[in-house]
Amino acid sequence: ELRTHVLSSNPSVQEALQRIAAAEAVLRQARSAYLPTITLNGNAGHADASLHPDAYPNKRFADSFRQGYAGLSGTWLLFDGFAREARNLGSKYNVQRTEELANETRRLLVLSATVSFRQAQLAEEAMRIAEQDREFNTKLEQDALKRFEAGALPESDVQNFSIRALQAESAWLRSKLNYATACTVLAELMAWPDATLPEGMRPGGIVFDAPAAPPGLEEELKYALGHRPDYNALQSGRLALAQRVRAAKGEMLPQIAVVGEVNYTGRQGYSEVDDHGNYDSFVGVAASWDLFTGGRKINTVREAQAEMRGLEQQRESLRLSIRSTLRQRIDRLLDATHQTMHGVMQ
């Protein structure tokens, strides 16, 4: 119930979902490159013109008129060095990366909630023990004071019992503060108003299970690398960067597109000629190839390659961190199991 409430209420989960929606929108943008682009243009205004036609070298025509223009143009990219294919795949991998990061957000929230819940349980147990210790030391202090008043105990022993009572009181207050802090963190993770848990919603007591056999490091590491969302997100990010390198290399090749346009220009208000309009249309193939860009395109490729190598090192660093964390937790489990068995034997 706690985990369900955290995952359904915490704003970080909603933020992660919006990041997925943004990545999916970028993917749809990349796919739109396979479709043609159609543009409608138009303008209207008043013009004053003075013409000196070649057919009449000794005569100049001057007039004012109203002019309107409307045109429809279209472009359909046929080839761009497979850059749009690479962008499409890169956007697809980026969606996978954001989905893994959303799962990582959920994992961290569940981990934080579990740790806070266990801390609250431990603090409650420590508070109960500290309460008994406080009552016991307070009783000893009172008995020592009575014996001192009767002359059967030196003052130094009374002071020792008083110090023990104060220490027990301090331990109880510290446990109470730890419990309140853990409950506040839980309320924050569950997005409760004022960071306060509702009445009746408090962590229950600890139920001690029989100690389990410690897992093997390599087996746990293999499972973690296959299921940790942050590790998988780096893998998706590496694949996305590889496609970015492909797209940057594709920009170095020529682009070929089918182009076409239909235009109409109308003129009215001439003083010497009748109103008339001009119509033209065109369909063809256009090609362009940037032969020199000052090194911009090749350095774009190098930038993407460097970022991909850096991401690979980040992935290796995370693998080492996961391995170290597992080793530490297995060692703590072995130590706790040893202490538990030792306590049972005593």
DSSP 127-186: HHHHHHHHHHHHHHHHHHHHHHHTTSS-HHHHHHHHHHHHHHHHHHHHHHHHHHHHHHHH
Confidence of residue 304 (pLDDT cuts 50, 70, 90): very high
Q: pLDDT higher for 54 or 168?
A: 168
Encoded tokens for 90: 């890169």
- pTM metric for this prediction: 0.77
Confidence of residue 200 (pLDDT cuts 50, 70, 90): low
Nearest by Cα to 186 from 130, 131, 99, 124? 124
Over 70: is that where the pLDDT of 342 sits?
Answer: no
3-state SS, residue 228? coil
3-state SS, residue 289? coil
Over 70: is that where the pLDDT of 207 sits?
Answer: no
Over 80: is that where the pLDDT of 140 sits?
Answer: yes
Confidence of residue 164 (pLDDT cuts 50, 70, 90): confident
pLDDT for the residue 18: 95
Encoded tokens for 174: 């510290």
The per-residue pLDDT of the chain, averaged, comes to: 86
Over 80: is that where the pLDDT of 50 sits?
Answer: no
Confidence of residue 228 (pLDDT cuts 50, 70, 90): very high
Confidence of residue 209 (pLDDT cuts 50, 70, 90): low
Among 84-88, 91-95, 172-176, 335-339, the minimum mean pLDDT is found in: 335-339
Over 90: is that where the pLDDT of 3 sits?
Answer: no
Confidence of residue 272 (pLDDT cuts 50, 70, 90): low
pLDDT for the residue 271: 63
Over 90: is that where the pLDDT of 322 sits?
Answer: yes
Over 60: is that where the pLDDT of 101 sits?
Answer: yes
Q: In what order do the strands lie in the sheet with 61-79?
A: 37-51, 61-79, 255-268, 276-288
pLDDT for the residue 51: 72
pLDDT for the residue 258: 96
Q: pLDDT higher for 11 or 152?
A: 11
pLDDT for the residue 60: 73
pLDDT for the residue 344: 52
pLDDT for the residue 214: 73
Confidence of residue 100 (pLDDT cuts 50, 70, 90): very high
Over 70: is that where the pLDDT of 246 sits?
Answer: yes
Over 70: is that where the pLDDT of 30 sits?
Answer: yes
